[in-house]
C-alpha cells in the first residue's frame, strides 16, 4: 500500500543492485525511513495507549522472572 503511494513496488528492486541508479537508491532509503518512522510512531502510540489502560508488560515480565527465580 505505501509502495503504491510512493510509486514503486517490491518487485521493482528485485534486480541486481550493481545496476541501480542513484534515484533507485534514494527511493530505497526513503522507503526505509518511511517504514522506520511509521513503526516508531506506532510503537510510541501503542505504549501510550497501554499506559492509559494500566497495562504494564515490562513490570509483569520482571515480576514473573523474580517470582520464578525465587522458587
State how far the Cα of 18 lies from the Cα of 50, in Å rounded to an integer.
45
Dist. CA 54–CA 43, nearest whole Å: 16
Candidates 7, 29, 6, 1; CA nearest to 17 is: 29
| Cβ-defined contacts of 37-46 (< 8 Å, 24+) | 38/2
- Residues 13-30: tens digit of each pLDDT: 565 555 667 777 888 899
Q: Is the pTM of this model over 0.75?
A: no
Question: What does the pLDDT read at residue 24?
Answer: 77
Q: What is the pLDDT of residues 28-71, one digit of tens each?
A: 899 999 999 999 999 999 999 998 998 999 899 999 998 888 76
Boundaries of every domain in the chain: 2-6+21-70
Q: Which residue has the higher pLDDT, 22 or 11?
A: 22
Question: Do residues 5 and 24 touch, judged by C-beta distance below 8 A?
Answer: no
Amino acid at each position: 500500500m505505501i509502495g503504491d503511494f510512493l510509486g514503486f513496488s517490491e518487485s521493482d528492486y528485485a534486480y541486481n543492485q550493481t545496476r541501480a541508479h542513484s534515484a533507485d537508491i534514494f527511493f530505497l532509503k526513503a522507503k526505509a525511513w518511511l517504514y522506520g518512522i511509521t513503526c516508531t510512531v506506532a510503537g510510541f502510540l501503542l505504549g501510550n495507549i497501554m499506559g492509559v489502560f494500566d497495562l504494564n508488560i515490562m513490570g509483569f515480565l520482571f515480576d514473573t522472572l523474580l517470582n520464578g527465580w525465587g522458587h
